[in-house]
């Protein structure tokens, strides 16, 4: 049930006054309604783009029956009597050439990938033969079809090979190439404006003053948006005041498809993003029942959607993975937007679960019995970014349910997020 269909007020949806993680995702996805134009790009430019139209094969792959081995093309009828067989070699067929009709009682020297000549119905691998002048001695009894790759065994002409909404990985590009398609229709790249808010923030490479910290979120966000293959509009760091926040938001709206920010969406009087968006457009503020995370904002300035992530460095990282990523993927036209989760064995105790669902930075590896075991970083604070660097994924712990060593828990590997 979506928060919208249930008439849920994002600020106070449930008895605990918070939105569940699933409700927040569903709410966001129901608003991922950007309609992108498509463009045609060469295969080498198509990696990481989202396919805009189904693709069918114009050809059979392989186009003809061909040899899977270096060896000899023969006719199995010549082997009815069993035992070694001595056959004259009447032709040589390398890959890229076509042989002549195989005369009964003869063999053709053939190489991997070469078309099987008419009249032959099996390939004998070279290792089972011996050369004898112009003849070959075959020391095995071949069966019909041995080592022949049949025409169309991978793809038949007319088969759908790729579907609209697929994110193109190297193997999709290779498959398109294998049927002779040189260009693919893909959705245009999204332009995402990002900025950080906070008077305390200093750009790395400069000295820190009293009470200041380095701006890390801008770099985490940049990396995550780049990993999604979007173009970035980097609007840098914005001071904590209403005018600057409004100005940068107007600039972002003029140039971007989506605006993603970090910080300034809490309820303190130094948090100006909320007030600025409310003046320029509309905003829903949520408290999501999760840790780290909690404050999350979604709004629009004109037609441009806005996602406001929390300020704490780990909260930004986790909420981007859980909320901003699927939203952006859906806006890109992708049809597979949620990461796969895997069941793994906990190698830790979690005896004091809080009222919110926890997303712990975890490291999963195989133990010597072949079980996947999850350890968690010793310090799970929302400011401890080292936890995300140490980890290879996130373990999800239900609220109110303790975990003991050996219990199964749900794990999202980072490879699911950044692949
Ligand atoms: P806020 O949501 O703006 O109140 O920020 C919450 C916490 O996150 C504060 O401790 C901020 O200093 C910190 N923070 C906010 N933005 C950033 C950033 N871009 N890089 C690192 N830390 C930040
Ligand atoms: Mg702040």
The phi and psi torsions of 217 (rounded to 5 degrees) equal: -60, -35
Residue identified by tokens 């008077």 is: 199
Look up the pTM and report it.
Answer: 0.91
Q: In a structure prediction context, what are the per-residue pLDDT tens digits for the chain, which is 419 residues long?
A: 333 333 334 444 443 568 999 999 999 999 999 999 999 999 999 999 999 999 999 999 999 999 999 999 999 999 998 889 999 999 999 999 999 999 999 999 999 999 999 999 999 999 999 999 999 999 999 999 999 999 999 999 999 999 999 999 999 999 999 999 999 999 999 999 999 999 999 999 999 999 999 999 999 999 999 999 999 999 999 999 999 999 999 999 999 999 999 998 887 778 899 999 999 999 988 889 999 988 899 999 999 999 999 999 999 999 999 999 999 999 999 999 999 999 999 999 999 888 899 999 999 999 999 999 999 999 999 999 999 999 999 999 988 889 999 999 999 999 999 87
Residue carrying structure tokens 């004898």? 132
- Which helix (H) or strand (E) segment is 318 a member of? helix 313-319
**Ligand 1 atom 15 nearest Cα:** 311
Half-sphere exposure of 386 (CA within 13 A, CB side): 4
Sequence-distant (≥ 6) Cβ neighbours of residue 150 within 8 angstroms = 62, 65
CB-ligand 1 contact for 215 (6 Å cutoff)? yes
Asked if residue 213 has its Cβ within 6 Å of ligand 1, the reply is yes
Residue 136 backbone phi and psi in degrees, to 5: -125, 140
- The C-alpha angle with vertex 61 and arms to 56 and 66, in degrees rounded to 5, equals 170
Taking the centre of ligand 2 as the mean of its atom positions, its distance from the CA of residue 241, in whole angstroms, is 10
For residue 311 and ligand 1, the question of a CB distance below 6 A is answered with: yes
Distance between Cα 321 and ligand 1 center (Å): 18
C-alpha span between 328 and 319 (Å, rounded): 13
> What tens digit of pLDDT does each residue of 322-352 get?
999 999 999 999 999 999 999 999 999 999 8
Determine the Cα–Cα distance for residues 264 and 299; give it in Å rounded to an integer: 14
């Amino acid at each position: 049930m979506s928060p919208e269909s249930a008439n849920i007020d994002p600020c106070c949806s449930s008895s605990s006054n918070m939105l569940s993680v699933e409700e927040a995702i569903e709410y966001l996805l129901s608003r991922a309604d950007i309609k992108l134009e498509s463009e045609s790009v060469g295969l080498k430019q198509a990696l990481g783009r989202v396919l805009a139209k189904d693709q069918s094969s114009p050809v059979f792959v392989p186009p003809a029956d061909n040899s899977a081995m270096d060896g000899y093309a023969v006719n199995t009828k010549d082997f009815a009597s069993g035992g070694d067989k001595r056959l004259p070699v009447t032709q040589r067929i390398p890959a890229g050439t076509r042989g002549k009709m195989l005369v009964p009682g003869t063999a053709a020297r053939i190489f991997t990938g070469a078309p099987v000549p008419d009249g032959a119905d099996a390939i004998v691998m070279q290792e089972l033969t011996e050369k004898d002048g112009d003849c070959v001695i075959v020391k095995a009894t071949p069966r019909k079809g041995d080592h022949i790759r049949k025409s169309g065994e991978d793809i038949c002409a007319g088969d759908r090979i790729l579907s609209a909404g697929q994110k193109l990985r190297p193997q999709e590009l290779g498959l398109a190439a294998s049927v002779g398609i040189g260009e693919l229709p893909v959705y245009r790249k999204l332009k995402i404006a990002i900025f950080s808010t906070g008077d305390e923030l200093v750009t790395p490479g400069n000295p820190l003053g009293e009470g200041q910290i380095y701006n890390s979120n801008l770099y985490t966000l940049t990396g995550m948006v780049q990993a999604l293959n979007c173009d970035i509009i980097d609007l840098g760091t914005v001071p904590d005041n209403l005018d600057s926040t409004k100005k940068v938001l107007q600039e972002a709206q003029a140039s971007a498809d989506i605006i993603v920010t970090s910080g300034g969406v809490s309820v303190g009087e130094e948090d100006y993003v909320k007030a600025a968006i409310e003046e320029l457009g509309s905003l829903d503020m949520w408290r999501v029942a999760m840790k780290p995370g909690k404050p999350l904002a979604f709004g629009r300035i004109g037609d441009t959607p806005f996602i406001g992530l929390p300020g704490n460095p780990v909260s930004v990282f986790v909420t981007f993975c859980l909320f901003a990523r699927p939203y952006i993927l859906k806006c890109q036209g992708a049809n597979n937007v949620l990461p796969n989760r895997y069941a793994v064995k906990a190698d830790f105790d979690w005896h004091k679960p809080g009222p919110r669902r926890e997303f712990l930075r975890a490291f999963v590896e195989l133990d010597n019995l072949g079980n996947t075991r999850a350890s968690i970083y010793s310090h799970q604070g929302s400011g401890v970014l080292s936890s995300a660097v140490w980890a290879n994924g996130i373990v999800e712990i239900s609220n109110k349910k303790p975990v003991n060593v050996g219990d199964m828990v749900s794990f999202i590997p980072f490879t699911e997020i950044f692949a």
